[in-house]
Amino acid sequence: MTGATRKDFITGVIAGWILMVVVDLLVPFAGPVIGGFTAGYIAKGDVLLRAKAGVLAGLLAAIVIAIAFYQRLVNTPGMGYLAGWGTGIFLYFLIALYFVGLAFLGAVLTMAVRK
């Protein structure tokens, strides 16, 4: 990766990550797709580079959303017994699968728009 490509890649990942978290709070399904699309659109290059940008943005967003969801689960009365480390890790993998899959789809869709 050259310097300009690396800069576009990092900018795309950060923009996609922030957009993904913000939009996901408003529209759950559209957040990861729009964030992945943004990450792939800003990260110029081939399909693989765009897909990597979308997947990385999805992983970062999954960390933020999983922490918020897990914190809410722990603070719910009567649910404290469920919130062990195993449950937290399981929830992270489920949320990461959801975010990464949809962000990958959004990033790959950029090839239809930008060449």
Identity of the amino acid at 66? A
Domain span at residue 24 reads 3-113
Domain count, the chain: 1
Q: What is the pLDDT of residue 83?
A: 55
Copy the structure tokens of residue 17.
Answer: 């990550």
**Tens digits of residue pLDDT in 19-65:** 998 998 888 889 999 999 999 999 988 889 999 999 999 999 988 88
Concatenated DSSP letters of 26-75: HSTTHHHHHHHHHHHHHS-S-HHHHHHHHHHHHHHHHHHHHHHHHHHHHH
**Predicted TM-score (pTM) of this structure:** 0.83
Pick the closest to residue 12 from 30, 38, 34 (CA basis): 38
**Tens digits of residue pLDDT in 87-113:** 767 878 888 899 899 999 999 999 888
